[in-house]
Structure 1
Amino acid sequence: MFHLIVCALSQRLKFSDRNMLEDKANPRCSTLILVFLLLVLITDVISVSGNSVNTDRKILLNLKSFLEKQNRVNRGRYSEWNQGSSNPCKWHGISCSPDMQRVTGIDLSDSKISGEMFNNFSAFTQLQRLDLSRNTLKGVVPDDLNSCHSLVYLNLSHNILGGELKLTGLTSLQKLDLSTNRFHGEVSFSFPAICNRLVVANLSMNHFSGRIDKLFDGCLNLQYLDLSSNKFTGNIWTGFSRLVEFSVSENLVTGPVPASSFSENCTLKSLDLSVNKFRGEVPREISNCKNLVMLNLWGNKFSGPIPSELGSISTLEGLLLGDNSFSRVIPESLLNLRNLAILDLSMNKFGGEMQEVFGRFKQLKSLVLQGNSYTDGLSSSGVHKLTNLSRLDLSYNNFSGPLLAEISQMVGLKFLVLAYNQFTGAIPPEYGDLSQLQALDLSFNRLVGSIPPSIGNLRSLLWLMLANNSLTGEIPGELGNCRSLLWLNLANNQLSGRFPHELTNIGRNPTPTFESNRKSNPMISSPSNCLVTKRLLTIDYSPFGFIYTILTRKICRNIWDQLLQGYGFFQVCVKGSPVRKYRVSGYLQLSGNRFSGEVPSGIGKMQHLSVLHLSYNQFTGKLPTEIGNLPLVVLNISSNKFSGQIPMGIGNLNCLQNLDLSQNEFSGTFPGNLNSLNELCKFNISFNPQMGGKIPDIGQSATFEEESYLGNPLLQSRVFKWQEVENGSKSGEEGFWWKAVLMEHGCGLTWGMVMLYVCVKRFDPKWAMNKVEAMLRPLNKINASSSRGGRGRGRGRGRGRRIY
């Protein structure tokens, strides 16, 4: 250190030699200058050493200690800091300056961090990049972060941070991502204060509110702005056309979209105004956006004609105009859009026959017309001639007549959704030629006949939805060849016969389908996808029910992509492992048919099942013990004729949330290990009158009401009897037992008096008869009073705890 000071001092002396020579007459002044320079140099060196990689290292170790204190069990790789190397530039998630002297980046994304944010990031004086995304950080963003003046990249997305946004000090910021948090209030505290260099701002999926029409005028470098899924109000910001991408979807923005918003030098490539309250006509000036690739106006109150000028935007690939009130005329100019891949005109109240123009969109890959009022058949539109289509959704209309066998010529189809119509006749066996088909949804129609065995040729099929028709016959064993089939719904038909053992082979190897989807480019998402996703996931049942409350369009898109690519979005229990894993998990719905016979033991091979629904059939025999090998969340086999002992293996289904075994013929004793199913929230074992045993007094089984156990006279439960005493007695436990004892002894004494009465009556002594009648009279009054009181309490309670 001294050597460095001497070297620096010599340099400074050289610099000041000339002035010192000129001042030879004042040696005291020269000495003072030397002392002053020495002090300055020492201060500089101390300052440099205080802002070094070693200083950053100490702060990082403080950060590590802070994180470990808040996260004592699940920890990210920050726990490895300082173990393999003392150089922080070699630690996971840490990046340094080119000379390796300062920490410039901290990446703790997806590191299992919970709790509050670290409150001393400003101590990293050269910090330029901070990524804390995909954790469970909570609370507010500390004001200390405003002192990170060198920060150019900040990502706090996918946490549970809240409070108002106040980041006024981050004037060097270029990219900001706060998406998927719980921030609220207006954003005017931060905008336009941090707009000077900002290029990307993602504020989506929060609870921000207030107006946006003037906030971003000063953001001259801004190119990408996402305000979707918030509570913004007022009119739209009219400067959006100078951006590259702009989204304000799923807000409360209203009013018309001014024509002046679309300037002649419009640079937009993506414009998403969906799910707001915009009204009026779409300005024809939108054609000024010559580079527009995606236009999403879905879910507003737009009316009038679809602008024919849209046909001049040659780059357009996605046109989403659903859930509005556009006029029925489809401009012929749209046929000029050679790059148009997705056309969504769902829920626009279009009626009558399907327009002939749709049959000429040869370039389309996805056509969505769900939720209109189209009638008659499909042949007149020529839609079956669109051989490039990979998705055709005509659900929720009034189409009628037979299903077109010619659809089988649409060899590129992956998703065919014709549900909720009035199609009649049989399922064309030619549909088995659609080799790329991944979803076939024909549910809620008037189809008859049997399931074609040719469906078994569809090796890429993930969903087969045929529920709520009038199909008959048996399930063809050929369905077992559908190696990718994970979601099968045949509920509410008139199907009969046995559960074919071949059916247990469905979904045995979906990997090739998933891998193919991972390699293909994801298609532009339409809000209509969410409606399909909800239906295909059968969200009436766990574990899919939770998405009702959180299903924004972005989450819906993520779930859909995860499913198609084979990535699970909820954890399932894996046999032989105490650790739950994210896996794609399917369902089998056969309820509401006429199936009979036994369920094959091979059902234990269906390791992808999380929902098994066999209710309202005529299945018989024992429930296979192998059912305990499945990662089930829902098991419903109610209203059948299953018999024998309930398999003990059901008690090992630790992820089970819904168990319904009611209205069967189970016998034996109540399985005590069901009491260990801590996640069970719906349980019904009622009306199995041959089942005996005791319901545990404590634990999960004791938390359910008597409705879960009705119609089982052999079952015993002290809890329910005790509860009835508690609810029915006004005099407390002692008073009840006193009455019970009195009634018991009274009944016994009454019976003795009756027998004495019979005996003495034969000899007919008058003194004996008078004595017996006198003794019986008060006891009869007590019994009558107790009986009336019991009936009164029963009516007053409404819901007793009695086992019937």
Structure 2
Amino acid sequence: MPMMSRLLRIAITVIAVLLHILSFILNSLRSLAGALRKILSTPNRCFHLRLIRLKGQHLSSLPHNFSCLQDLLFSLCGDGKATAVTGDSMDSDREVLLSFKSYLESWNPTERGKYNEWETEKQDVCQWPGITCTPERSRITGINLRDSTISGPLFGNFSALTQLAFLDLSNNTIGGSIPDDLNRCHNLKHLNLSLNIIEGELSFSGLSNLEVLDLSVNQIAGDIHSTFPTLCNRLVVANLSTNNFSGRIDDIFIECRYLKHVDLRYNRFSGEIWSGFRRLVKFSVSGNRLSGNISASMFRGNCTLQVLDLSGNGFVGEFPGQVSNCQNLNVLDLWGNNFTGNIPAEIGSISSLRGLYFGKNEFSRDIPETLLNLSNLVFLDLSRNNFGGELQEYSGGSLNGDIPRKYGNMPRLQALDLSFNRLTGSIPASFGKLTSLLWLMLANNSLSGEIPREIGNCSSLLWLNVANNQLSGGFHPELTKMGSNPFPTFEVNRRTMDNTISGSGECLVMRRWIPAEFPPFIFGLESLTKRSCRTLWNHVLKGKCIFPVCPTGSIVGPLDVSGYLQLSGNKLSGEVKANISQMKKLSMLHLGFNEFEGKLPIEIGLLPLAFLNLTRNKFSGQIPKEIGNIYNLQNLDLSSNNFSGNFPTSLNDLSAMSKFNISYNPLITGVIPSTGELTTFEKDSFLGNPLLQFPSFVIQSGNNNTSSGERDNGRDEDDEAAIDMLAFYWSTFSFYVVALVGILVLVYFDCPWCRAWLRLVDAFTVIIAYEIKKPRDSKSHFK
């Protein structure tokens, strides 16, 4: 008992010492704040005070008379937020920049941008990277730290730079909300905070001189009605795309007399559209929740529109032909709405049109012939509508012919999408004149006849999709020439495409025109955030590889986008000839669900394929071992054919392969290797091949398939029980430790309530012992 008493006294002493130390620390902090108040209460004692650094101190408050120090420029407190009283000279501007640099370095200790070159030794601030000054070099007017690996909250003392007119911090990882200080930058004309992770709500009522506002690709939310009446004074460009803004937009731009470019894509705006958009140059509201009709009155008067993007909303009714009043229109995007009726024939008079997207609406069967007069058209999307029967020429009220031959008179056309309609008839040979055509999408219709040999003249045609039609005939040798030389088209796009389709739904376009199962682009599609869409789309149109599609050493060249040939789901027949090896840019070949026959040429091993699907045909002979040379191959399906002979073990060298199927080729013989890439596939990949010899791993996986579900369920139940019991045992052990300590204390303090507690512990121990001994399947009181 004396030993116990000494231990208890020692423990109490240690606790008292810790409490004393904590009290000392708190009193020290209070005294620091008090000392600051005392020092600063006499201005003469800090007459030349310009900079105070209090980083690391935890002050509950600062003296109220800080605001009396006119020369004080910057104070960095422990929470990382900056407060300041401004100066009004180049010296004060320089001090603010140095404070800004210190602030950035505190949030970015390793990776730093151009601000790292702001050196105190260089007195001329105007020579610092990213800094611009007045012509007489007397004040700082601009800061450009675009793409400077900046993270952390936004700096809170820009208003100290009283002549600041230009601020660009785009393409960084700045987070948090926009500080109120920025609202006091009254001379600011250009503000770009795009491509960051800023959140919170927008409140810029003090920026009445702003001309350019770009907040795109952030996480800013809320209504914008409180901001735009003030901003509208001089605003020319407003880009709020790819945020979480909400509310109505039908009346917020009424007072914006100078506004020319409005981009509100990918937000949550709702209600009706602003009716005054015709006086803008660009108006994009793609990917919102807008609804209602587009009336003819919206296009009356002087229309200066060049880009009108209404895609991905819920607009209804007929689209008015008065849009022809906008004779400067380059892009008209109506994709993904509920428009009905006929496509206005008047659109054919807008000769400046280069992008026309009518897909995924409910337009009726008549396509006006006047659209074929648009000789400058680059992209034409009429997919997913109700166009039925034959794709009509609309001439003098009579309907006749197949797909109009005049489509061959659109020399600049790079993409034609007529997929997912009810079209019949044949594919016109005049398509062979479209030497700039990159995409031809005719899938999921009822087109018949042969694929015209003239398609081989489409030297730029990398992406052909005619799947799920009723096409017949063979794979003509001439077709192997298509896409042989797309570089003239890519070169045109490199020179002229920068402003053609930019801002007209790049994400939607890429997802429509690049198959999801297309392995060369699968990483690109998965990474298609709204931030990266424009860059990826720009690369595709200019023939550049999309990282990581083209790693170092890839067969596909660094400036050569690979193509695909999708012919599945038709009635095509005949043999595939050796000259298929001429398609040097082909990465996806899908011939499945047809009637092709004969031997597969060994030259197929010369193609840079990532996807090869020949399922459900009548191919025969031995599987070419040369397929094992296609090192980029990721998806190989040779199932349901008549292949025979020895299984080529060279396929085991395809290390990039993630999908493999040779099932239901009953004449294949040989042995599946027991090591290598093929060991990663289940027996389902080899079903229906009785002459093949399988290693033990395949047999076991196949035998296990039938009862795996039952065993998995049973194992899950056992695991659950085991986990419960393990937790139970640990909790019991913890209880005994606590109880033991409690008993020792209670023995030392002998009292009535102590004895009652011991009786309770004794009863609990009996219950625990009962629970441990009880069978698992019985119910537990603890449950």
- What is the CA–CA distance in structure 1 between the aligned matches of 2:345 and 2:581, rounded to whole Å? 56
Aligned partner of residue 694 in structure 1, secondary structure: coil
The 5-angstrom pairing of residues 623-772 of structure 1 reads: 630=608, 633-636=610-613, 643=623, 653=632, 658-660=635-637, 667=647, 677=656, 682=659, 684=661, 690-694=670-674, 707-708=684-685, 713-717=693-697, 720=701, 728=711
**Alpha-carbon displacement from aligned partner over 1:593-624 (angstroms, at most 9, x marks no partner):** 54657867957x83x44434455655757967
Instruction: Give the alignment's TM-score, normalised by structure 2.
Output: 0.61
The question of 1:514 aligning with 2:476 is answered no
- What is the CA–CA distance in structure 2 between the aligned matches of 1:429 and 1:316, rounded to whole Å? 31
Find the counterpart in structure 1 of residue 588 from structure 2: 611
The 5-angstrom pairing of residues 448-463 of structure 1 reads: 450-463=450-463
Instruction: Give the alignment's TM-score, normalised by structure 1.
Output: 0.59
**Alpha-carbon displacement from aligned partner over 1:121-154 (angstroms, at most 9, x marks no partner):** 6387354323233345555445665565554322
- Residue 191 of structure 1: CA displacement? 4.5
- Residue 568 of structure 1: CA displacement? 4.4
Tell me which of 63, 68, 74 is aligned to 2:104.
63
The question of 1:538 aligning with 2:515 is answered yes
- Residue 224 of structure 1: CA displacement? 3.8
Unaligned stretches of 5+ residues in structure 2: 1-43, 51-68, 73-86, 719-783
AA in 2 matched with 1:277:
S
Tell me which of 232, 236, 241 is aligned to 2:269.
232
1:210/1:231 contact within 8 Å kept: yes
The question of 1:278 aligning with 2:292 is answered yes
The 5-angstrom pairing of residues 68-147 of structure 1 reads: 69=110, 71=111, 89-100=126-137, 103-111=140-148, 113=149, 115-117=151-153, 119=155, 122=158, 125=161, 127-138=164-175, 140-141=177-178, 145-146=182-183
- What is the CA–CA distance in structure 2 between the aligned matches of 1:620 and 1:457, rounded to whole Å? 27
- What is the CA–CA distance in structure 2 between the aligned matches of 1:554 and 1:597, rounded to whole Å? 42
- What is the CA–CA distance in structure 2 between the aligned matches of 1:123 and 1:359, rounded to whole Å? 56
- Residue 95 of structure 1: CA displacement? 3.1
Aligned partner of residue 158 in structure 1, secondary structure: coil
- What is the CA–CA distance in structure 2 between the aligned matches of 1:471 and 1:63, rounded to whole Å? 63
- What is the CA–CA distance in structure 2 between the aligned matches of 1:340 and 1:219, rounded to whole Å? 27
1:456/1:481 contact within 8 Å kept: yes
- What is the CA–CA distance in structure 2 between the aligned matches of 1:58 and 1:41, rounded to whole Å? 15
AA in 2 matched with 1:511:
F
The 5-angstrom pairing of residues 255-404 of structure 1 reads: 276-279=290-293, 282=295, 284=297, 286-289=299-302, 291=304, 300-303=314-317, 306=320, 328=342, 351=364, 371-373=385-387, 375-376=389-390, 378-379=392-393, 381=395, 402-404=402-404
Find the counterpart in structure 1 of residue 477 from structure 2: 477
1:567/1:584 contact within 8 Å kept: yes
- Residue 306 of structure 1: CA displacement? 3.7
1:157/1:179 contact within 8 Å kept: yes
The 5-angstrom pairing of residues 521-560 of structure 1 reads: 534-542=511-519, 544=521
- CA 1:304–1:208 in 2, change beyond 3 Å: closer, same or farther? closer
- What is the CA–CA distance in structure 1 between the aligned matches of 2:176 and 2:70, rounded to whole Å? 39
- What is the CA–CA distance in structure 2 between the aligned matches of 1:339 and 1:577, rounded to whole Å? 40
Unaligned stretches of 5+ residues in structure 1: 1-35, 253-275, 385-398, 486-505, 736-804
The question of 1:572 aligning with 2:549 is answered yes
- CA 1:408–1:89 in 2, change beyond 3 Å: closer, same or farther? same
**Alpha-carbon displacement from aligned partner over 1:41-86 (angstroms, at most 9, x marks no partner):** 99999965852547625643663674463x4xxx766667669989
Aligned partner of residue 493 in structure 2, secondary structure: helix
- CA 1:146–1:240 in 2, change beyond 3 Å: closer, same or farther? same
- What is the CA–CA distance in structure 1 between the aligned matches of 2:639 and 2:120, rounded to whole Å? 58
2:319/2:339 contact within 8 Å kept: no
Of stretches 335-344 and 632-641 in structure 1, the one that deviates more from structure 2 is 335-344
Find the counterpart in structure 2 of residue 432 from structure 1: 432
Tell me which of 74, 92, 99 is aligned to 1:51.
92
- What is the CA–CA distance in structure 1 between the aligned matches of 2:365 and 2:275, rounded to whole Å? 38
Number of positions where the alignment pairs a residue of Structure 1 with one of Structure 2: 616
1:125/1:150 contact within 8 Å kept: no
- What is the CA–CA distance in structure 2 between the aligned matches of 1:339 and 1:625, rounded to whole Å? 44
Aligned partner of residue 513 in structure 1, secondary structure: helix
**Alpha-carbon displacement from aligned partner over 1:680-710 (angstroms, at most 9, x marks no partner):** 76455666763433357xxx98876664565
2:357/2:381 contact within 8 Å kept: yes
**Alpha-carbon displacement from aligned partner over 1:651-689 (angstroms, at most 9, x marks no partner):** x54xx6645465666636597766x65xx7645566676
2:152/2:173 contact within 8 Å kept: no
- What is the CA–CA distance in structure 1 between the aligned matches of 2:350 and 2:580, rounded to whole Å? 55
The question of 1:158 aligning with 2:195 is answered yes
- Residue 157 of structure 1: CA displacement? 1.9
- What is the CA–CA distance in structure 1 between the aligned matches of 2:568 and 2:121, rounded to whole Å? 58
**Alpha-carbon displacement from aligned partner over 1:484-531 (angstroms, at most 9, x marks no partner):** x1xxxxxxxxxxxxxxxxxxxx3xx42211112344466578989988
- What is the CA–CA distance in structure 1 between the aligned matches of 2:681 and 2:449, rounded to whole Å? 43
- Residue 93 of structure 1: CA displacement? 3.6
Find the counterpart in structure 1 of residue 37 from structure 2: none
2:391/2:401 contact within 8 Å kept: yes
2:282/2:307 contact within 8 Å kept: no
- What is the CA–CA distance in structure 2 between the aligned matches of 1:344 and 1:383, rounded to whole Å? 25
- CA 1:54–1:601 in 2, change beyond 3 Å: closer, same or farther? farther
Q: Identity of counterpart residues, as a percentage?
A: 35
- What is the CA–CA distance in structure 1 between the aligned matches of 2:663 and 2:156, rounded to whole Å? 59
- Residue 201 of structure 1: CA displacement? 1.9
Find the counterpart in structure 2 of residue 23 from structure 1: none
- CA 1:646–1:117 in 2, change beyond 3 Å: closer, same or farther? farther
2:316/2:340 contact within 8 Å kept: yes
**Alpha-carbon displacement from aligned partner over 1:226-258 (angstroms, at most 9, x marks no partner):** 323211224555776776655444322xxxxxx
**Alpha-carbon displacement from aligned partner over 1:530-556 (angstroms, at most 9, x marks no partner):** 887555322344455688899899987
Tell me which of 531, 546, 561 is aligned to 1:584.
561
**Alpha-carbon displacement from aligned partner over 1:463-497 (angstroms, at most 9, x marks no partner):** 44444444445433334444xx1xxxxxxxxxxxx
The question of 1:186 aligning with 2:186 is answered no
1:693/1:716 contact within 8 Å kept: no
**Alpha-carbon displacement from aligned partner over 1:169-188 (angstroms, at most 9, x marks no partner):** 65553321111233233335
